[in-house]
Chains A and B, each alone.
Chain A
Amino acid sequence: MTAFGLFQAGELDYAVPLTQIRRMIQGNTIYPLPLLPAGVDYVLIYESTLVPIVFPGQTGDRVVGSPEAECFVLVDSEYGALAFATQPNSRIIADHKGTLSVPRQRKSPWQVGTFYYQERAFKILDVDVLAMEITRGNGSICLTLSGARRLNEEEAAAGR
């Protein structure tokens, strides 16, 4: 049996396989640092390690210097931990409670598939691909609102 963590950030519903979720973090201070790769403006500190934060479903135009207390899901990738911002209404759901769609060919490299649960479509993130894109400075491509919108539009077009 597989389970997913289901999250929401901005307009994006997304899912992360439970095996890659280390923990949820709430109330931590986040810090702006210069020269972070595109798509990453803040880090949090977890066990003396800098953890880059990505804000899926939101614009990258966050004002540097205004740390915000939010809820984050800390995930493990092949390149180290990273944190995704999320609203605090996250859930862990076993895959048999919903419908899992994993197309043979991915719509986007960072989207493994879609998990449909209670009439919502949660995009299953490939955390390793996202981390790799961040190391290449491409994090903003897929994690900004426009990227999320594009994903939604592509999915809607594919469903027509």
Chain B
Amino acid sequence: MSKATGKMLIFVLAGVRFVLDLDHVVEVLEQLSGRLDMQHSDLRQGIVAALEFRHTAIPVIDPTLHLGLISDIGLSQRSTLVLRSSEGNWAILVDRVEGLAPTTLFSRAHVPALLRATPDYADIQVLLVEDAPLMVFEPERFYGIHRAPV
């Protein structure tokens, strides 16, 4: 969980709530229609568009492709989180941002052996808020040299 800011950002994708360490977030952008260049996509890499951000074209990843989720929110209504990484800024599309919460609000959910035995859940972390699960979004799974294939 977040060490520097002590906060987590909560967002929703296809009805599933995720939490992301705020330390990864550069900026939250909304109403992006017109700023996304769909010509620069590479679906094998999970990249659905390029985004002009601070005079640089950065890759935009749609995490639903990797997660097997289907979002029914139109592209123009989705939000974008610009994230930092050692390879530069990049962005993910999300359905909506719910807000920020202090890390102290969350407790860790126990993921049983029944799920841990499946490859996708081997090291996934799930947090709880009032007994509701939120998946920890780990950016390195989606972009960069350690990214899992789509």
Chain A residues at the B interface, C-beta cutoff of 8 Å = 29, 31-37, 43, 45, 48-52, 64-66, 77, 79-82, 131, 134-135, 137
Whether B132 pairs with A34 at a CB distance below 8 angstroms is no
Number of interface residues of B (CB under 8 A): 27
B4 contacts the other chain (CB 8 A): no
Which listed residue, B70, B115, B135, touches A37 by the CB 8 Å rule?
B115
Among B114, B128, B133, find the residue whose CB has the most chain A CB atoms closer than 10 A: B114
Whether A79 pairs with B113 at a CB distance below 8 angstroms is yes
Q: Which residues of chain A have C-beta atoms less than 8 A from B74's C-beta?
A: none
Question: Among B31-39, B51-59, B82-90, B103-111, which stretch is in contact with chain A?
Answer: B103-111
Give residues of chain B (91-130) contacting chain A, Cβ–Cβ below 8 Å. Answer: 107-115, 117-118, 120-121, 124, 126, 128
Classify the secondary structure of B's interface with A.
Answer: mixed
Which listed residue, B15, B111, B113, B117, touches A65 by the CB 8 Å rule?
B15
B16 contacts the other chain (CB 8 A): yes
| Known contacts A34-B68, A64-B14, A64-B69: A43-B133 contact under CB 8 Å | yes
Whether A34 pairs with B135 at a CB distance below 8 angstroms is yes
Q: Which residues of chain B have C-beta atoms less than 8 A from A64's C-beta?
A: 14-16, 69-70
Which listed residue, A35, A52, A79, touches B68 by the CB 8 Å rule?
A35
B150 contacts the other chain (CB 8 A): no
- State in angstroms the CA–CA spacing of A82 and B118 once bound together: 15
B67 contacts the other chain (CB 8 A): yes
